[in-house]
Amino acid sequence: MHDSDLRLDGNAAGGLLNEIFPFEMTTAEATCGGCGTTRPIGELMLYRHGMGTILRCYVCDTMLIRITHIHGFYRLDFSGMNCLRIAAELH
C-alpha cells in the first residue's frame, strides 16, 4: 500500500470546513509552523482518518489542522499552523 493511497487534497475537506467557517476555506492560506511554507488549504495533504480529519503540510508533513466532530462539538487543533489567511469577502 502506497502513501498515495491514504491521502487526498485539502480541497476534499471543503465540505467539512464549510460546516464550521462562513468563508471559502480551500483557498485560505496556511503557514506551516514546521517549515514556513505558505500554501492554500486546497493543497494540503488530507488524511480522512475515521476518527477525525487531518491536514498536513505537503512539504514537511507537519500536522496543520486536526478536526474531530463529537457529540455535537467540533474540536479544532491548529497548533501546527503559524498563520491562517482567509479572504473576508468573495471577489
Touching other proteins, residues 67-86 (CB under 8 A): 68, 70-71, 73, 75, 77
Annotate each residue in 3-42 with x if it binds other proteins (CB under 8 A) or - if it does not, as one string.
xxxxxxxxxx-xx--xx-xxxxxxx------------xxx
Distances (CA, A) of 16 to 11, 24, 91: 10, 11, 22
Among 33, 34, 61, 78, binds other proteins (CB under 8 A): 61
Cα–Cα distance for residue pair 22/19, rounded to 1 Å: 8
Cell numbers that stand for 25 in this block: 476555506
Place of cell 475537506: 13
Q: Smallest distance, Å, CB 21 to other proteins?
A: 8
Distances (CA, A) of 68 to 1, 24, 36, 39, 52: 26, 20, 25, 23, 5
Binding site for other proteins (CB under 8 A): 1-12, 14-15, 18-19, 21-27, 40-43, 45, 47, 49-52, 54, 56, 61, 63, 66, 68, 70-71, 73, 75, 77, 88-90
